[in-house]
Structure 1
Amino acid sequence: MKRESGLSFDPKKDEINGIPEEMEFLPASDQKKLEKRSPKETALLVGLILGAALLSLMIGLLVWHFHFRPDNTIKKMYNGYLTITNKQFTEDLEDFDSEAFKQLATTVEQTLLETYMGMDSVAPHYVRSTVTAFSEGSVIAYYWLECRVPPEGAAELDEAIRAVSPFSGKSRSGGTKSLRISDLVVDSADPRRVKPPKDHTCAFDLHAVGGEMNTFSSPGFPNEPYPANVWCQWVLRADPHHVIELNFVTFDLESVCHNDFVVVYDSLSPIEKREITQRCGLYPPTNAFKLMSSRNVMLVTLMTDDDENYPGFKAEFRQVPKQRQCSKILQGSGSFSSPYYPAYYPPRADCTWVLKVDPPNHIKVMFNVFLLQNPDENNVCKDYVEINNRRICGEQPPMVELSNGSEMTIKFRSDAAESCRGFSATFEPYDASKPCPEEFACRNGRCIALDLKCDAWNDCGDSSDEINCKCTSNQFRCGTGLCTSNQWLCDGVSDCGDKSDEANCECEAGEMRCANGKCIPEVQRCNLVNECGDNSDEEGCSNTDMTVPCSEHTYTCKDGTCIRKKNAMCDGTHQCPDGSDEHDCNCGIRPYKHSRIVGGMDAEVGEWPWQVSLHFQDKGSICGASVISTRWLVSAAHCFQDERTIRFSDHTTWTAYMGLHDQHKLDGAQKRRLKRIIRHENYNPQMFDNDIALLELDRPLSFTSVVQPICLPEAAHDFPIGKNTWITGWGMVHEDGGLATVLQKAEVRIIRRRNCNDLLSGTVTTRMLCAGYLSGGIDACQGDSGGPMSSVEENGKVFLAGIVSWGDGCARKNKPGVYTKVSKFREWIKGHTGL
Structure 2
Amino acid sequence: MRRSAANLKLCQRSEVVSSPPVNSDLTCPLSLQDLDVGELFLQASDSRDVEKKPGRRRRLWAGLGLLVAAGALALLTGLLVWHFHLRQDVQVTKLYVGSVGIGGRSFRADLEEPASDGFSILAQKVRAQLQQIYSQNSVLAKFYKDSTVQAFRSVPDTWCSVPSSLLTESLRVSSEGDSQLDGMVAYYESEFELPVVQLSSLDKAMASLEATGSQRGRLLRTNAALISGVSLGALDPRLTRTNMSGRTVHPNVADFSEKAPISVHVRKNGHIDSPGFPDAPYGPNTAQKWQLRADPGHRVRLDFHTLILEDDCEQDFIQIYDSLAPIRPRLLTEQCGYPRGSLSFVSSGNVMLLLLVTSQDKNFPGFRVLYSQVPAAGGDCGGTLSGERGSFSSPFFPANYPPRADCSWTVQVPEGRLVKVQFQTFSVGKDGSPCLHDYVTIDEERLCGSQSESSVFISQSNKMRVSFRSDRGLVYPGFSAQYQAYDRKKHLILPLQAQLLCFT
The normalised TM-score by structure 2 is: 0.69
Match of 1:232 among 257, 265, 288: 288
Instruction: State the one-letter code of the partner of 2:351.
Output: V
Q: What is residue 322 of structure 1 aligned with on the other side? A: 376
Match of 1:184 among 221, 226, 230: 230
- 1:263 & 1:102 partners in 2: Cα distance? 27
Post-superposition shift, 1:197? 4.4
Q: What number of residue pairs does the alignment pair up? A: 368
- Report SS of the residue matched to 1:155: helix
Post-superposition shift, 1:88? 2.3
Q: What is residue 173 of structure 1 aligned with on the other side? A: 222
Q: What is residue 151 of structure 1 aligned with on the other side? A: 196
Q: What is residue 266 of structure 2 aligned with on the other side? A: 208
- 2:443 & 2:207 partners in 1: Cα distance? 36
- 2:462 & 2:291 partners in 1: Cα distance? 48
Q: What is residue 90 of structure 2 aligned with on the other side? A: 72
1:134 and 2:141 are equivalent in the alignment: no
Post-superposition shift, 1:183? 1.7
1:257 and 2:303 are equivalent in the alignment: no
- Report SS of the residue matched to 1:79: strand
Q: What is residue 239 of structure 2 aligned with on the other side? A: 193
1:79-131 deviation digits (Å, cap 9, x = unpaired)? 01122232222222111112221222111111111011111231111112211
Post-superposition shift, 1:153? 1.0
CA contact (8 A) 2:342 2:477 kept: no
Note the 1:191-590 alignment, pairs <5 A.
191-194=237-240, 196-197=243-244, 201-209=259-267, 212-283=268-339, 287=341, 289-323=343-377, 325-332=380-387, 333-375=389-431, 379-398=434-453, 399-435=455-491, 438-439=494-495, 450=498
Post-superposition shift, 1:394? 1.0
CA contact (8 A) 2:432 2:449 kept: no
CA contact (8 A) 1:202 1:231 kept: no
- 2:245 & 2:466 partners in 1: Cα distance? 47
Post-superposition shift, 1:376? 5.3
- 2:244 & 2:293 partners in 1: Cα distance? 19
Query: What percentage of aligned pairs have identical amino acids?
Result: 37
CA spacing shift, 1:434–1:309, aligned 2, 3 Å: same
Post-superposition shift, 1:358? 2.6
Post-superposition shift, 1:143? 0.5
CA contact (8 A) 2:322 2:347 kept: yes
- Report SS of the residue matched to 1:115: helix
CA contact (8 A) 2:304 2:368 kept: yes
1:83 and 2:113 are equivalent in the alignment: no
Post-superposition shift, 1:340? 0.3
- 2:150 & 2:402 partners in 1: Cα distance? 24
- 2:145 & 2:442 partners in 1: Cα distance? 49
Q: What is residue 111 of structure 1 aligned with on the other side? A: 129
CA contact (8 A) 2:238 2:314 kept: no
CA contact (8 A) 1:229 1:303 kept: yes
- Report SS of the residue matched to 1:344: coil
Q: Which has the higher contact order (CA 8 A, sep 6+)?
A: 2
Note the 1:558-707 alignment, pairs <5 A.
none
CA spacing shift, 1:437–1:415, aligned 2, 3 Å: farther
- 1:361 & 1:368 partners in 2: Cα distance? 22
Match of 1:162 among 207, 211, 215: 207
- 2:457 & 2:491 partners in 1: Cα distance? 12
Post-superposition shift, 1:185? 1.0
1:570-612 deviation digits (Å, cap 9, x = unpaired)? xxxxxxxxxxxxxxxxxxxxxxxxxxxxxxxxxxxxxxxxxxx
Post-superposition shift, 1:357? 2.1
CA contact (8 A) 1:374 1:381 kept: no
Instruction: State the one-letter code of the partner of 1:206.
Output: V
Note the 1:35-50 alignment, pairs <5 A.
none
CA contact (8 A) 1:265 1:299 kept: yes
CA contact (8 A) 1:193 1:270 kept: no
Q: What is residue 655 of structure 1 aligned with on the other side? A: none
Post-superposition shift, 1:438? 3.0
Post-superposition shift, 1:361? 1.9
1:216-254 deviation digits (Å, cap 9, x = unpaired)? 111111111111100111111111111111011111111
1:673-715 deviation digits (Å, cap 9, x = unpaired)? xxxxxxxxxxxxxxxxxxxxxxxxxxxxxxxxxxxxxxxxxxx
- Report SS of the residue matched to 1:409: strand
CA contact (8 A) 2:301 2:347 kept: yes
- 1:78 & 1:103 partners in 2: Cα distance? 22
Post-superposition shift, 1:432? 3.2
The normalised TM-score by structure 1 is: 0.42
Instruction: State the one-letter code of the partner of 1:419.
Output: V
- 1:84 & 1:142 partners in 2: Cα distance? 11
CA spacing shift, 1:82–1:327, aligned 2, 3 Å: farther
Post-superposition shift, 1:375? 4.1
- Report SS of the residue matched to 1:93: helix
Post-superposition shift, 1:310? 0.7
Post-superposition shift, 1:430? 2.1
1:533-564 deviation digits (Å, cap 9, x = unpaired)? xxxxxxxxxxxxxxxxxxxxxxxxxxxxxxxx
- Report SS of the residue matched to 2:122: helix
CA contact (8 A) 1:381 1:392 kept: no
CA spacing shift, 1:174–1:450, aligned 2, 3 Å: farther
CA spacing shift, 1:71–1:326, aligned 2, 3 Å: same
- 1:437 & 1:311 partners in 2: Cα distance? 60
Instruction: State the one-letter code of the partner of 2:198.
Output: G
Note the 1:83-102 alignment, pairs <5 A.
83-102=101-120
Instruction: State the one-letter code of the partner of 1:394.
Output: G
1:134-155 deviation digits (Å, cap 9, x = unpaired)? 1111311111011112111101
Q: What is residue 55 of structure 2 aligned with on the other side? A: none
- Report SS of the residue matched to 1:346: coil
- 1:364 & 1:85 partners in 2: Cα distance? 49
CA spacing shift, 1:228–1:280, aligned 2, 3 Å: same
Q: Could you list the runs of 5+ residues in structure 1 that have no partner in the other structure? A: 1-69, 441-448, 455-835
Q: What is residue 652 of structure 1 aligned with on the other side? A: none
- 1:369 & 1:450 partners in 2: Cα distance? 30
Instruction: State the one-letter code of the partner of 1:227.
Output: G
Q: Could you list the runs of 5+ residues in structure 2 that have no partner in the other structure? A: 1-87, 156-182, 247-257
- 2:432 & 2:490 partners in 1: Cα distance? 40
CA spacing shift, 1:153–1:71, aligned 2, 3 Å: closer
CA contact (8 A) 1:264 1:275 kept: yes
CA contact (8 A) 1:229 1:306 kept: yes
- 1:246 & 1:204 partners in 2: Cα distance? 16
- Report SS of the residue matched to 1:307: coil
- 1:251 & 1:198 partners in 2: Cα distance? 32
Q: What is residue 689 of structure 1 aligned with on the other side? A: none
